[in-house]
Structures are given as C-alpha cells and as structure tokens.
Amino acid sequence: MAKVGIVMGSDSDMPVMAKAADILDKLGIDYEMTIISAHREPDLFFKWAGEAEEKGFKVIIAGAGMAAHLPGMCAAIFPMPVIGIPMHTTSLGGRDSLYSIVQMPSGIPVATVAINGGANAGLLAARILATSDAEILAKLKAYKDELREQVEAKDAKLQEVGYKNYGK
C-alpha cells in the first residue's frame, strides 16, 4: 500500500516531482504518482484527495506552479501532512508559486520546500514517516552517512590535487 501520494498539475512538473520519487525509491517507500489538475478537473481532484486517506497515504507531496493551488487544496481535504513544492516559472522565477503555497490561511498548513525542491520533499516525507517507522529511520541515517562520505571524498580530492586542478 502506498504511503505517499505524489501529485502534480501538469507533466511539465515531472522532472522536479521525479526527484521526490527517486528519494522514496532509494529509501524503499511506496508511493503513487498522478497528474491531476485542481482547476481543470475539480471533480476528479476532489475525489482523489477525498480518497487519499482511505488509500493509505500518510503524506502527500504536491507540486504546483504559478497560482499553485494544488498543495493547499490537498491540505484543505487531506487531514495528514501535505508538502508543497513550488515550481520555477518563467514569469516570476517561482516566487509566485512559493508565495501561493507558503501563505496558507491559519488552520490549513502546508509544509513547503524550496522552489523545485523535489528531493527535499521526498526526504521530508520520509522523515515524517520515520517518526513511526524504525526501518525508514535507519535508511535515513544511512542516507545521511552517504552524504557525509560524498563530501569527505570531495575534500580528499581537493586536498590531493588543489583547487586549480580540482575540476580537470
């Protein structure tokens, strides 16, 4: 049963949303990904969001650009955590998306990551799940160790070759 619902309003959001899915895959967390528009398919959206708890979702990751209503509408319907990913836009660089998601009214919270922050959304969903799942917590700790090792390897290379030869 999928623990995380990943939803986006357009396939143009796929490259960013795929980063969340990649993290969940790496950590062995089941998810369901869908494209649905709260504006263009309101009846279908309300049905999907209304059935999310019943499907077993514990967290929803919702990506949206411009007016960015999808995460907030999910939070208005789904009673558990919603993580919003504001999408970069050509007109305002994603600030429109960010403000639309982060400025939710009192009582309807949406956790919000950086513009195009798909990987962090996946990690935040995993951290939420890890509060009640020791296996996911262990995988997150191992992931953190991998990140540390990557930085240590980069520094070792820098110390060995110097900054002038680092990128060569």
Model confidence over 74-95: pLDDT tens digits?
999 999 999 999 999 998 999 9
Nearest to 113 by CA among 49, 68, 166, 61: 61
Query: Within its chain, how far is the Cα of 127 from the centroid?
Result: 12
Whether the per-residue pLDDT at 24 is higher than 90: the answer is yes
- Indicate the class that CATH gives domain 4-132: alpha beta
Nearest residue to 82 via CA among 45, 53, 54, 55: 53
Which residue type occupies 149?
A: E
Q: What is the pLDDT of residues 25-45, one digit of tens each?
A: 999 999 999 999 999 999 999
Rounded to whole angstroms, how far apart are CA atoms 71 and 63? 7
Q: What is the pLDDT of residues 107-147, one digit of tens each?
A: 999 999 999 999 999 999 999 999 999 999 999 999 999 99
Tokens of 25: 């895959």
